[in-house]
Every structure is written in structure tokens, then in C-alpha cells.
Structure 1
Amino acid sequence: MIKSELVNALNEKLAELSIKDVDLAINCMLAQMVDALVQGQRIEIRGFGSFDLHHRTARLARNPKSGERINLPAKVVIHFKPGKELRDRVDAARAQCDIKE
């Protein structure tokens, strides 16, 4: 749903490009971002935020329902840190979204 809205918004701003071209450009950009993360690189989009990888070590956990011990393997997770501009805009919109502390 969001992607189609993005494609339409970009197509309105870049009327000389077809919707297919805009969609292709967005897909290409997302594919490049995925490839960069797969290669262990950090992605920074000024004013929006950054994507980084966090390495979690293997650990022994406990199933809260049964109490059984479970071995969790090491893994890599994607971490997103919003930029200051994005944080400020979201924080300023709290009143509109009826968000309470």
C-alpha cells in the first residue's frame, strides 16, 4: 500500500517519467540497499536515518511457558536508527495522532 502511494507521489513530481520507470527506480534503490546490508555495509540516508547490522551472540534462553532451556544461535539483525529530522517531525505530529505518554 505504501509503495504504490510512493510511486504515485514521485510520478506526480516527475511527470516526464512513466509509472513503470518510477517503480523500477524504487525497486532498484531497495535492491541496492538490501545488497549493501547483505555485504555488511551501513546505510545512511541524511535526514531520515540509518540502517546498520547488530550481531547477537549465541545464548541460552528459557521458554517462559514451560521453563525449558533453549539454545538460541548467533544471528545478525537489522537495526534502524531514525535521524534527528525524522524524530523531530514525528515528535511534532504526536498531537495529531493522539499519542499519549
Structure 2
Amino acid sequence: MNKQELIKKIAQDSHRTDTSAAIALQIVLDAITDTLASGDDVKLVGFGTFKARPQPARIARNPKTGDEIEVPAKHRVSFVAGKSMKETVSV
């Protein structure tokens, strides 16, 4: 399912227009992104938890030339599925 298909599903299930569903979805995605950017976790009980975890700087190799390059430290987003989601998906 891509974003457009998700918007259509939300619109159909909530009896709203595609436009209002797209706005609602974008608001949710922006809220999750802003919260992670501020360093907090997003916990949705029954669904899962989004976390921004630090990844330290490291040395990597350019596969084409073999030269070492430094990869700077950054944050990675991770998602841990909640119990309800795990049970539903694994059936």
C-alpha cells in the first residue's frame, strides 16, 4: 500500500473526502516527525513505538575505490511493533 492508497482507505473508512483524509494523514506524519526531531519517542499503544536512536560516527569503505571514508554521527529512526499489532500480523 502506498500513500495514495492509504489516503483512499482512510477517506472510505471515515466517510470523508480524499482531500480531508490527505490533510489528516499529513498532520499525523508531521506530528510524528516533529516529535522525533525534538528527541522524544512516539508511543501508540497497541500499534508501536517510534524512536530516534543515535548512531555513532564510523569509518566505512568506498566499494569502488577501497578508500576509507568517515561517516558522520546521525540519528536513525526505529519502529518497534506493539503487542496488538504483532498478534494481528502473525495470524
Q: Which interval holds the TM-score relative to the shorter structure?
A: 0.7 to 0.9
RMSD: 2.0
SS of the aligned residue for 1:47 comes to: coil
Structure with higher Rg: it is: 1
Question: In 2, distance between residues paired with 1:42 and 1:34?
Answer: 10
Q: With the length of structure 1 as denominator, give the TM-score of the two structures.
A: 0.73
Equivalent in the alignment of 1:25: 24
Give unmatched runs, 5+ long, in structure 1: 93-101
Give unmatched runs, 5+ long, in structure 2: none
Q: With the length of structure 2 as denominator, give the TM-score of the two structures.
A: 0.79
User: Percent identity at matched positions?
Assistant: 32
| AA at the equivalent of 1:28 | I
SS of the aligned residue for 1:71 comes to: strand
The alpha-carbon deviation at position 63 of structure 1 amounts to: 4.8
Deviations 1:2-36 (A, max 9, x none): 22222222222222x32211111111111111111
Would you identify which runs of 4 or more consecutive aligned residues in structure 1 move more than 4 Å?
Answer: 62-67
